[in-house]
Chains A and B, each alone.
Chain A
Amino acid sequence: MKTSFFQFLKDIFKELFSNKINFVFMFLALTISLVTLNTIYSLGLSAKKQVMDYLANLQFGKDAMFIVAGGGRIIGLTTTRRDTLKLEDVEEIKKLDFVKLASPISIGTLEVSYKGVAEKLKVEGVLPNYVFANNWYPKVGRFINEKDLKTMAKVCVVGADIPKKFNIKNILGEKIKIAGQYFKVIGVLESKPFFGHHRWDKRIFIPLTTAQRRVFNKDYIEGVKLLFRKGTDIKIAEKKIKEILRKRHKLFGIEPDDFRIITPELAISIFTKTMRTINVFLLAIALISLTISGVIIMNLMYANIEEKAPVIALRIALGADPRKIIKHYLIMSFFIAIISGIVGWILSIFLMQIISFFTPLKTFFSWKVFIFSLSFATFTSITFTLMPAIRASKIEPAILLKTL
């Protein structure tokens, strides 16, 4: 048995495709806007996911924190002294029961050379626990150990790009010159994905003691990475650490901090802040374009209804009540929305593929975006068809008998 609903749909489909040009324009208007909207939305999600992955990869999940020497703004020049963060501070912080691991670093940009090839690179003085703190292990050789620290050994572990940079085939055991002193390479780290300007694979790591006494000649550190025990309340942890540091640095009253505490949340917000501003702007443009497509759909629907007035009048004469006529055009607009929604989504994936060739952003596949696309298409299409549909339902069947 065929239900009349099936026939009803068939009838709507046939009417929709009876004026192909009209259909194509409605479809195009909606599809183009949706491609824009989907692509912008997906790329925003993609960027956020990349930042999250990046942070997770650095062991900068929700149970981590980074303390940087120097107060003031989060990004940019410091407005306070930056030589006050010491290893003693780290020892004090380590006493807090929720701190699982503390990994201090002393960092500087130095000239590194090998057989006449020289380059300025970031050199970090670190402890053996650096590998656990950053989830980053040697690919070959070993990392810095306690003995290296005690003896202030002139050894180094290099990032994955270094052998290639100095054109060394078998780098283990080779000696490279850092700030005029020879360091023996004892290990090469795994390659680490990078985001923005942080090229981890171009860094060189040496024992912290060696860095402080033999290279930088300073007793302060640039930062310390902390890992907390599971379930630690980051806000409470931040407060306690701040108290310890301010007390130790003798900062009272309104004196500003001479350190900055970077939480994962803060890091994400810094990374995504600019992105978000751009996204809101682009989304606004996409929404305006969607509204324009809505108006185009409305116009084309009006034209369609004008053109089909005798058929609508006939339907009314044959027993279609006003609600059925409205339903007829809303279902038609729903079809247009579904087709445009699906095609718009597929095209946006292609567009993202193209964009990913030229930018670090990756194609982002998400059912959320698909549902988002369909919902927007349906909302726009149905909203802007409502008026023409109501007009159609008010067509007088009497127009069929033209002569008075």
Chain B
Amino acid sequence: MVKKLVILKNITKTYYTGKVAYQVLKGISLEVEEGEFLAIMGASGSGKSTLLNIIGLLDKPDSGIYIFDGQEVNQLTKKELAYLRNRKIGFVFQAFYLVPWATALENVLLPLLYRGKINKEDEKKAVELLKRLRLEKRINAKPNELSGGEQQRVAIARALITNPKLLLADEPTGNLDSKSSQEVMNIFKELNENGITIIMVTHDPEIADFAKKIKIIKDGTFIKE
């Protein structure tokens, strides 16, 4: 039996703008098995990024239950959540979010900085990852010396350095040209084939087609699979 990595039950989330309440998630339930590649689609303001924040332990739901990798996470402290994110989740963002003053290699090693030690093996692994993503000549380049596609590949290497169980991607091709988008998606596909669970948020149907499963969110709830 395949293990369920993510289980969401009746998740709600409301934001407040001044005194005006805006319920973004209206009782969402979701189950993601290990090895899945799920695309969540939806228009702007549909709640897809809020959902991704909750799945990625970056935000807490107002109500509902969230079980991640067999552990209920609703009551965990900020420190415990930070620990889980560091060990089990990799993030790829639309705006890449590379540290501007660090080299590609240092950016890849960043998540390990918050563990205990960075040893030679870690460095070797980071270099291997960069090579695998065809960045061997850009190891010591700063983000402003890299193209958009290259920056996103560095971000992917950074997400993979911790051997995460889950890779979360928020519009990973949103800032890329079509060629680079294609490249990034091929990498995701390959990673998924190697066993990594991926949950990706996008509004681009072509990109969503790379996923094995698509869910569409509208006004805070899933409308179809």
Residues of A within 8 A of B (CB): 1-4, 7-8, 11, 14-15, 17-18, 310-311, 314-324, 396-398, 400-404
Contacts and interface: CB of A to CB of B under 8 A. Distances in A.
Interface string B157-176: 01000000000001100000
Contacts of B113: 4, 7-8, 11, 320
A404 B45 contact: yes
B111 A318 contact: yes
B100 interface: yes
B204 to A, nearest CB: 13
Nearest to A10: B106
B99 interface: yes
A4 B115 contact: yes
A317 B85 contact: yes
Contacts of B79: 321-323
A321 B24 contact: no
Contacts of A323: 79
Contacts of A315: 110, 114
A320 B112 CA distance: 10
Contacts of A318: 85-86, 91, 110-111, 114, 158
Contact of A319 (B83, B118, B119): B83
Interface in B88-109: 91, 93-95, 97, 99-102, 106, 109
Contacts of B117: 1-4
Interface in B45-73: 45-50, 52-53, 56, 58-59
9 contacts: A2-B117, A2-B120, A14-B101, A18-B100, A315-B114, A318-B86, A398-B58, A403-B94, A404-B15
B213 interface: no
A317 B111 CA distance: 9
Contacts of B91: 317-318, 400
B18 interface: no
B44 A4 contact: no
B58 A397 contact: yes
B30 interface: no
Contacts of A7: 106, 109, 113, 118
B88 to A, nearest CB: 10
Contacts of A15: 99, 101
A51 B94 CA distance: 71
Contact of B106 (A11, A310, A400, A401): A11
Given A1-B117, A404-B49, A322 B78 contact: yes
A309 to B, nearest CB: 11
Contacts of A14: 101-102
Interface in B122-138: 123
Contacts of A402: 49, 95
Contacts of B101: 14-15, 17-18
B47 A4 contact: no
B212 to A, nearest CB: 22
B83 to A, nearest CB: 7
A404 to B, nearest CB: 5
Nearest to B103: A14
Contacts of B94: 403
Given A18-B101, A318-B91, A401-B170, A1 B83 contact: no
Contact of A317 (B58, B83, B120): B58
Which of A320, A322, A323 has the most chain B CB atoms inside 10 A of its CB? A320
A403 B118 contact: no
A149 to B, nearest CB: 84
A2 B49 contact: no
Contact of B102 (A1, A11, A316, A400): A11
Contacts of A401: 49-50, 52-53, 58, 93, 170, 201
A317 B115 contact: no
B45 to A, nearest CB: 5
Which of A2, A400, A404 has the most chain B CB atoms inside 10 A of its CB? A404
A112 B17 CA distance: 94
B82 interface: yes
